[in-house]
Amino acid sequence: MDPLSEVLRSVRLTGGVFLESHFTAPWSVLAKLEAEDCQFMSTPPVQIIAYHFVVDGSLFVVVDDESPIRVRAGEVILLPRNDPHTLCSAPDLSSTSARALVQSNAAGGLPHIMHGGGGEPAHIICGYLASTELHNPLIASLPRMLTLDVQQGTSRDWVEASVRFAADELRKGRFATSSIMSRLSESLLVESVRKYAATLGDHEAGWLKGAADPQIGRTLALMHRDVHVPWTAEALAKEAALSRSAFVDRFTTLVGMPPIRYLTTWRLQTAKLSLSETRMTIAQLAHSVGYESEEAFSRAFKREFGLSPMRWRDSQTA
């Protein structure tokens, strides 16, 4: 697995599809995913990446006052911030709520929409990638819209085959398995992020810049996946096959902060989520994110968030 794919998997995103839509021009709908659209999430997500894959035809996507983006057959558009957006056959048409048009599928397949004025058709499959993490460095590093031509991606053959399989299952009134749809969603995201990362200038620093780097990307994945491990700059440098000084300099240049500072921030963000979602004791939680003592963890947590872990947990249930 390449470093970027490894890091993306480490940020714990779950994917699926939830809607099939057939439109005919003229048409325009307002859309925004909600937590209930993410059927395969055992815990309601707090961050969602919406995406639309155009099977046939073409459409425009508009977010607020940004310029409309045209998406053609074989292309996907992702909305990393899950912004409310307009899907339409042409800009400036009067819009209808997409949710009001959704119909259940009596044959057991996906819910669907059939809407429009009878003109040029467009067929799309709508999906999501979702996270239960309040702080997700991937989502924070992406623009409001990303597009990808599936036929040009490095996973082109697998993605195209999966989309064809999903579309065929949908036509037969069957729902493709969640594992296949989750992997498809992840592959679309990986390819889109890879394309976007390639456009970043050398002067730009950030999580995604580091994730795309073969050496720094590996260490980011390790920190995310094994947050409890007592990582040191020396140990991470060894994993990156760099000297300690070269590793620290490269990490800081690409990510925008030193590696141990990044690790501390990630540990505390992970702990913050666990405080609200589990009943682990403070001591158990401290050890789960790599702290040797409850006292050291509590001091670091209060320094970062202004409250002790226990007081922060109490504030969430008040």
CB-CB contact of 154 with 194 (8 Å)? yes
Say yes or no: 51 and 128 in one domain: yes
Say yes or no: 253 and 125 in one domain: no
Q: Per-residue pLDDT for 171 more than 60?
A: no
Model confidence band, residue 285 (pLDDT cutoffs 50, 70, 90): very high
What is the bridge-based pairing of β-strands 47-56 and 75-79?
antiparallel
Say yes or no: 150 and 73 in one domain: yes
Count the residues in the chain: 318
Q: Per-residue pLDDT for 224 more than 80?
A: yes
What is the bridge-based pairing of β-strands 14-24 and 69-72?
unpaired
Q: In this predicted structure, what is the pLDDT of residue 70?
A: 97
CATH number at residue 160: 2.60.120.10
Model confidence band, residue 115 (pLDDT cutoffs 50, 70, 90): very high
CB-CB contact of 77 with 51 (8 Å)? yes
Helix intervals (H) in 177-258: 178-197, 207-211, 214-225, 233-239, 244-255
- Predicted structure pTM score: 0.72
Q: In this predicted structure, what is the pLDDT of residue 108?
A: 63
Q: Per-residue pLDDT for 296 more than 60?
A: yes
pLDDT (tens digit per residue) in 15-47: 777 788 999 999 999 999 888 877 666 667 778
Q: What are phi and psi of 80, to 5 degrees?
A: -60, -25
d(CA 106, CA 168): 17
DSSP string, 28-77: EEEE---GGG-TT-SS--SEEEEEEEEEESEEEEE-TTSPPEEEETTEEE
CATH number at residue 223: 1.10.10.60
pLDDT (tens digit per residue) in 231-265: 999 999 999 999 999 999 999 999 889 999 999 98
Asked whether residue 3 is assigned to any structural domain, the reply reads: no
The conformation of residue 290, written as its DSSP 8-state character, comes to T
Mean pLDDT of 295-301: 95
Number of domains in the chain: 2
Say yes or no: 173 and 213 in one domain: no
